Amino acid sequence: MRDTAILLLNLGGPVNLGQVEPFLRALFGDRDLIKLPGPAWLQPPLARLIARLRAPSAKGRYAEIGGGSPLLRESAFQASALRAALRTAGREEAVKLCFRCTAPRAKGLLQALKRQGIRRLVPVTLYPHDCRATTGSSLRELAIEAARLGMEILPGVDHYATDPDYLDALERPLRAALQELPGATVIFSAHSLPVRQIEAGDPYEKEIHATCEALQARIGELPGGYLLAYQSRTGPVRWLEPPLKSVLESMGGKDVIVVPVSFVTEHIETLHELDIEYRHVADQAGIRTYRRVPPPGTDPAYIRCLTRRVLEILP
């Protein structure tokens, strides 16, 4: 329908070094994403301070992966692939990116879409696992802007942790890596989350476990076994355990395959954190071979997952 747009939701990322500090300011200023200590009114000034202090080191990390995040580019490829698949199915809806912390953000995007005659929005998360800090934050911002403009939000795709096509997209590169390293230990690596959010009822941890258990059932028993670990901690609070660093430090002399299960594109957490920082940890620990498999990206199975779910909900 020509009055309906499909919005692919993600966090976003700086495409150049000049965008790093504004990105960090938006990230730490979002109380849904990161709840800083103190009252809500104090979060914006604290976010500005944290962004200013963290920007130099963050710019250094982005410089090491090419000067910016590839997330916008790779998400655009996913949008194009989804648009093509929908057209093959006879649908003509627009497919747009909608990011939380960098452009295109909901406010400007929805204003532009309304001028183009779009009245209805179908949100589709690029976070496979339901989480109030990611999908929840994006949906809340979208709801505020849509209400302000009088636009309707239709039921969307908010998680797909055990979708068979999503699992296919994770399984294929893992099997390829296991053919080369059949005795390796498989480590599923997921973005960590503060324990207080899980204790408050966030479903994220359960959904991560569901994905990992489904993949283990598909692959079967391995000589090296499976482990789940968490990465990307920020701040002095209790986080989900165990941390990936500690797990790697205990794996000396072994082959390791790291599977980033909570990411669907390459970005700073894969290209720098996993490929540079944790590779160094692996080397220091004496790990024999450290292999990281790619995220789904535009894998046909992943695009099938999104396409099928969108077609199921479009009016």
Side by side, which strands form the sheet with 120-125?
A: 94-99, 4-10, 120-125, 152-153
Residues 83 and 307: beta-carbon distance below 8 Å: no
Nearest alpha-carbon partner for 175 in 204, 141, 216, 209 = 216
Nearest alpha-carbon partner for 260 in 136, 127, 132 = 127
Side by side, which strands form the sheet with 255-260?
A: 226-231, 185-191, 255-260, 289-292
Strand, helix or coil at 128?
Answer: coil
Q: How many CB atoms lie within 10 A of CB 232?
A: 18
DSSP single-letter state for residue 238: -
Query: Binding site, residues?
Result: 191, 269
State which amino acid sits at residue 116: Q
Query: Binding site for Fe(2+), residues?
Result: 191, 269
Q: How many CB atoms lie within 10 A of CB 148?
A: 12
Residues 176 and 217: beta-carbon distance below 8 Å: no
- Cα 100 to chain centroid distance, Å, stands at 12
DSSP string of 1-50? -TTEEEEEEE----SSGGGHHHHHHHHHH-TTT---SS-GGGHHHHHHHH
